Chains A and B, each alone.
Chain A
Amino acid sequence: MALRTLINRKTLTTTVPLGFRGLQTFSLPDLPYDYGALEPAISGEIMQLHHQKHHQAYITNYNKALEQLDAATTKGDASTVVKLQSAIKFNGGGHVNHSIFWNNLAPVHEGGGEPPKGSLGWSIDNSFGSLEALIQKMTTEGAALQGSGWVWLALDKEFKRLVVETTANQASCVLLFLQDPLVTKGPSLVPLLGIDVWEHAYYLQYKNVRPDYLKNIWKVINWKYASEVFEKENP
């Protein structure tokens, strides 16, 4: 396959007609940078496929599942409502996760790779010892993840601490249960930074060598965005 042309930032908003009851459906958000802008860490070819094909497919299938859910709910079809949950979790999770991910990345000339300052930087040092230690931890856990999934830096709002977690497939960080059996969380986890370790996120460039992808992605991580999210939760 030859996708050598680096296409400029595309506006790919799909207009989806609202249903009779004003059902909210979703459309592909623009990337805040050109497809080729993250090179050499992540190739333009991967960025374009990842955005236009993979993320778009999650949105298309999420919208379809939501429409089916709407119809089933209206009809009072309980078993269909239940059967749709996995499609909603998978495709909706995919949409949520990738929307966060595009903001987690930035070209070097727009601050990609610049270490976090301010309260997030301080909190990272406090929780992990140093930024290098956090990076090492996320890299190791991301590399060790079997199959498809994500590695996250998240803020636990209830305990006011930063945590590193992994999720399988498109499970959302916010649905995560902490390992402590005494405590069940989920909605109190706020994702700050997620790294996609599905093979589609790196395969064309890094092939089987996921550790190289993880080593290089830190050069384009947008700590500014993570800081903004952190400071909003921690005024």
Chain B
Amino acid sequence: MTSRSGFSARSSNENVAAKIELKAPPYPLDALEPHMSRKTLEFHWGKHHRSYVDNLNKQIVGTELHGKTLEAIIVNTYNKGDLHPSFNNAAQVWNHDFFWESMKPGGGGVPNGELLELIKRDFGSFEEFEKEFKTAAATQFGSGWAWLVYKAQDNKLLVIKTPNAVNPLVLDYYPLLTVDVWEHAYYLDFQNRRPDYLSVFMENLVSWEAVSSRLQLAKAQAAQT
């Protein structure tokens, strides 16, 4: 199946019992300070993300899902909305990988090039995109995620929000950027103040390079199908 994640396949060696691995963020755990604390990364990556990986591996061992790529497991267990028990763990593994890679030290600000042009085209301005993205993230009731996605059928950028572990892979969009709005993502640093967390995320953490390269990959893949 076509990989929409923008990274290479997770388990490339067919001969080895293919466990899903916990991937480290592409920066040290304290690199996002003071905007996202080391303590948060230690728990969020070191405990939450790690648990999703460990629990997923326990759930799939000895089943037909064992040995499949993570994305294949996600689509399979989403089961058109009738969620298989391991969907939550599988999707959350993927979502968190995608989230760490959506951020970088010294991130934030405004994108440039084609990405900025498309944002202006589809949202009116960068400010209007930012407002829509932050509103979606702030109004996701309960746990979930907000996303910037590319919808190939309409050749359009969209902002969407999803509950719990649901992600754009199962909704037929190409994900470009995400922010985690489960409370564990921001509670140690911001407590109840989710809007403050979102402002800091936009101003200081977003890796527009990652978003741009995901967009290029998405358009290339969409052109092939």
B184: interface (CB < 8 Å): yes
Contact A208 B47 (CB under 8 A): yes
Contact B187 A203 (CB under 8 A): yes
B 140-167 contacts with A by CB, 8 A: 141-144, 163-165
Binding site for A on B (CB under 8 A): 43, 47-48, 51, 88, 141-144, 163-165, 182-184, 187-188, 191-192
Contact A169 B192 (CB under 8 A): no
A 41-99 contacts with B by CB, 8 A: 49, 53-54, 57, 86, 90
Contact A204 B188 (CB under 8 A): yes
Complex Cα distance, B193 from A57, in Å, reads 11
> In the assembled complex, which residues on chain A have CB atoms less than 8 Å from the CB atom of B188?
203-204
Name A208's closest neighbour in chain B (CB-CB).
B47
A148: interface (CB < 8 Å): yes
Contact B143 A1 (CB under 8 A): no
Contact B141 A146 (CB under 8 A): no
Contact A208 B184 (CB under 8 A): yes
Of the A-B pairs whose beta carbons lie under 8 Å apart in the complex, a sample of 5, sorted by A's number, is A147-B142, A147-B143, A147-B165, A148-B142, A170-B141
Contact A54 B143 (CB under 8 A): no
Give chain B nearest CB distance to A126 CB in angstroms.
Answer: 31
Name A94's closest neighbour in chain B (CB-CB).
B141
Complex Cα distance, B195 from A30, in Å, reads 27
> In the assembled complex, which residues on chain B have CB atoms less than 8 Å from the CB atom of A147?
142-144, 163-165, 182
Contact B43 A54 (CB under 8 A): no
> In the assembled complex, which residues on chain B have CB atoms less than 8 Å from the CB atom of A207?
43, 47
Contact B183 A200 (CB under 8 A): yes
A114: interface (CB < 8 Å): no
Complex Cα distance, B182 from A200, in Å, reads 10
Contact B142 A57 (CB under 8 A): no
Partner of A54, one of B47, B88, B141, B192: B192
A 176-220 contacts with B by CB, 8 A: 198-200, 203-204, 207-208
Complex Cα distance, B191 from A53, in Å, reads 9
Give chain B nearest CB distance to A81 CB in angstroms.
Answer: 19
Complex Cα distance, B182 from A170, in Å, reads 15
Complex Cα distance, B191 from A170, in Å, reads 19
A164: interface (CB < 8 Å): no
Contact A49 B192 (CB under 8 A): yes
Contact A53 B183 (CB under 8 A): no
Give chain A nearest CB distance to B16 CB in angstroms.
Answer: 29
Name A93's closest neighbour in chain B (CB-CB).
B141
Complex Cα distance, B163 from A45, in Å, reads 28
Name B48's closest neighbour in chain A (CB-CB).
A208
Tell whether A200 pairs with B51 under 8 Å between CB atoms, given A53-B192, A54-B192, A170-B141. Answer: no
> In the assembled complex, which residues on chain A have CB atoms less than 8 Å from the CB atom of B182?
147, 199
Q: A199-B182, A199-B187 are in contact. List 16 more A-B contacts (CB 8 A).
A: A53-B191, A53-B192, A54-B192, A146-B164, A146-B165, A147-B142, A147-B182, A170-B142, A198-B142, A198-B183, A199-B143, A203-B183, A204-B187, A204-B188, A207-B47, A208-B47
